[in-house]
Amino acid sequence: MRQATRLWALLFLMAVVSVGCGSDDDPSVGEETLDQKSEKPSEDDDGAKDSERDSERDGDADNAENADEDRGGDSAGERDGDPSAEEAGSGASEDPSEVGDPDDPAGDGAGAEEPTAMIVPAIDDPDISSPSVVIPDAISHAADAEGNYPDLRGRCDINSGYPGDDACIPPPPEDEGFQIHVGPKDYDDEEEVAKFLMEPGDESSECWTYTTPNDKDIMYQTSVLSGRAGTHHIIHRMHDADLSEGSFTVCAGAMSSVGSLPGASRAYIRRSLVAPEDAHIGRAIPANIKAQADMHYFNLTEEPLIREFWLNIYYADEEVTDEADQIVGMGGFGWNSNPIPPGADMVYQYECPIVGDGRILQLLGHYHAQGKRFTAYIERAQGGDMEKVFEMYDYLEPAIFDYNSVTDNPKFTDSAAGAHTGMLEVQDGDTLHWECHIQNNLEVGLRYTNQVVGGEMCNIWGASYGIDPLRCYHR
């Protein structure tokens, strides 16, 4: 089947993320709205899919009484009643930045028409203009007969002297969209390059502020993002604030945030088609609004890398009447006060109640290097059946799955990412569950921090339509 759009990918990206990067606030302290649902010794070894669940519905995991449940297959999950708004996070802020950066809550650093010619949009801001890109006259951004958009990577004439020049993508024709570029404008300017340089062993998560180049309000449905090697995530938030530009800074907080832009959980997020049932759903970008890219990069190589990405945003082709809502599920804040001990082999489980009838459009799982498996389920209010809808195993290749009439997702296996295929309809009273199997193979405890190897998290992001926004934050 043809692949449907990942416009949702990362309406993010969290908030998964809508965050105040580098916040001094630690959500693990004094936040009664954050509740770690459960943790148990794993019986998931070698990728086995079924696990017994010790479900902790109330209070701290260390003190609660656990009831064993069989979580495998389509078995029913016994419920202790719907969690309160406070426990489930439904009463929490709609922007997780109010509880700190989800990747660093402790502050210690988710079909265009065929163009006749390619025109580079005029962008005055030097921080988001494309560097020395030569565009041939007939590069098409349109989908082929099979519904696949072209891979635009490697179509730029640049020579930075650093790895990853082939990640550059040309911007859309000016009547089809625009490009946001964060990276050096002039690779021959050592001072300019130094702003984005990462030496071997470096890891950072900082925000780069820019102004979007659109001179009027627009609606979009599709996008493509390509970043250089070392990209762990890129989270975009729009802000109604006078933010300074030209250098990496601590991310702005929740008070000025007015929405998200497409982000990434890996170096390349492709563009795909809009499903027929989603033709009326899009996202808005106000004219020339300030925005920040929260860029988590790491350099595990032996040579310097550049923090850099190119994001193409394509205008909606049809009249858009509705907007999708972002799914934000964050788990593991309690690890800051009670770290995962060395040698631990545990499954951590969280949930978020669904209010209203509608659809889940997309899901994305996120954990770090000590994560072995990430699984999401929908618990049905009618009958209590537990339907597995998402699973992944590789933190370096985080899975993003769309749920619509034209996307054929891979089937579930014991070792590779898989998902439910087709539209994922939900009803009032259903519950979204997610769990992370974490094995701490380090000699130190794991906290909820923005470190790929030395920190962990258990977050689920995505998009929904028709239901109340899903916002759940757990210890």
Q: Is the pLDDT of residue 123 over 90?
A: no
Pairing of strands 322-323, 281-285: parallel
Q: Is residue 463 part of a domain?
A: yes
Distance CA 45, CA 282 (A): 41
Q: Is residue 229 part of a domain?
A: no
Share of the chain above pLDDT 90, in %: 55
Q: Is the pLDDT of residue 411 over 70?
A: yes
Q: What is the pTM of this model?
A: 0.68
Q: Is residue 23 part of a domain?
A: no
Query: pLDDT tens, 288-346?
Result: 999 999 998 999 899 999 999 999 999 997 788 899 988 989 999 999 999 999 999 99
Q: Is residue 408 part of a domain?
A: yes
Q: Is residue 131 part of a domain?
A: no
- CA angle, corner 335, sides to 329 and 341, nearest 5? 130
Query: Tokens representing 445?
Result: 């405890």
Q: Average pLDDT for residues 399-421, to the nearest whole number?
A: 95
Tokens 């390059």 found at: 193
Tokens 């003190």 found at: 63
Q: Is residue 14 part of a domain?
A: no
Q: Is residue 461 part of a domain?
A: yes
Neighbours of 178 (CB within 10 A): 23
| pLDDT for the residue numbered 41 | 58
Distance CA 237, CA 262 (A): 9
Q: Is the pLDDT of residue 212 over 50?
A: yes
| pLDDT for the residue numbered 95 | 37
Distance CA 349, CA 334 (A): 13
Q: What CATH number is given to the structural domain containing 365?
A: 2.60.120.230
Q: Is the pLDDT of residue 455 over 50?
A: yes
Q: Please give the tally of structural domains in the chain.
A: 1
- The alpha carbons of the chain give a radius of gyration, in whole angstroms, of 21
* Sign of the torsion formed by the C-alpha atoms of 15, 232, 220 and 326: negative
Query: pLDDT tens, 216-249?
Result: 999 999 999 999 999 988 988 899 989 999 999 9
Pairing of strands 471-474, 325-331: parallel
Residue range(s) defining the domain that contains residue 358: 38-96+325-474
Q: Average pLDDT for residues 135-146, to the nearest whole number?
A: 76
Beta bridge mates, 305: 198
Q: Is residue 10 part of a domain?
A: no
- 11 vs 315, which has greater pLDDT? 315
Q: Average pLDDT for residues 375-391, to the nearest whole number?
A: 96
| pLDDT for the residue numbered 235 | 85
Q: Is the bond preceding 16 in cis, omega lying within 30 degrees of 0?
A: yes
